[in-house]
Amino acid sequence: MVSIREAQVDGHVYIAVLESVLGPVMEEMADDPEVEDPLFQKDNTRVHTAKDLAWLHENGIDLEDHPPLSPDPNPIEHAWVELKRRLHKQYPDILDTKKGPETVGDRLAEVLPHV
């Protein structure tokens, strides 16, 4: 398993996640007689590149078609936008945090309530 918290997500990390998570899930679905033609859907995030398309094709994983400029069908993306907007409003200094995503994550862990 690849810890996204500990790595900057680039094309290589994304492929590692596909290999460790998506591959086994799709294999399991392929063996399930109740699942017909499973599809994988991805958005247009920068880390999704031709490399991931090649990996998906090599592993026999079909993609859901959607136009490149279509509205984002993934509701979590909209929730992240709203969360970031609210965090910036309440903690404007977070944007100035240096040393990369891990440090920003540590700062968020400090200010956000623990559940």
Residues 53 and 89 placed together within one structural domain of the fold:
no
pLDDT digits (tens, 9 = 90+) for 32-45: 888 888 888 776 66
Domain count, the chain: 2
Please name the residue that has the structure tokens 């094309």: 11
pLDDT digits (tens, 9 = 90+) for 54-100: 888 888 888 877 666 656 566 777 777 787 778 778 878 776 777 76
Question: How far, in Å, CA of 56 to CA of 39, rounded?
Answer: 11
- The range of the structural domain enclosing residue 98 comes to 74-115
Confidence (pTM): 0.48
Q: Across all residues in the chain, what is the average pLDDT?
A: 76
Residues 32 and 88 placed together within one structural domain of the fold:
no
Q: Is residue 35 within a helix (H) or strand (E), and if so which, with residue range? A: none
Question: How far, in Å, CA of 36 to CA of 30, rounded?
Answer: 8
31 or 51: whose pLDDT is higher? 31
Please name the residue that has the structure tokens 């996640």: 17
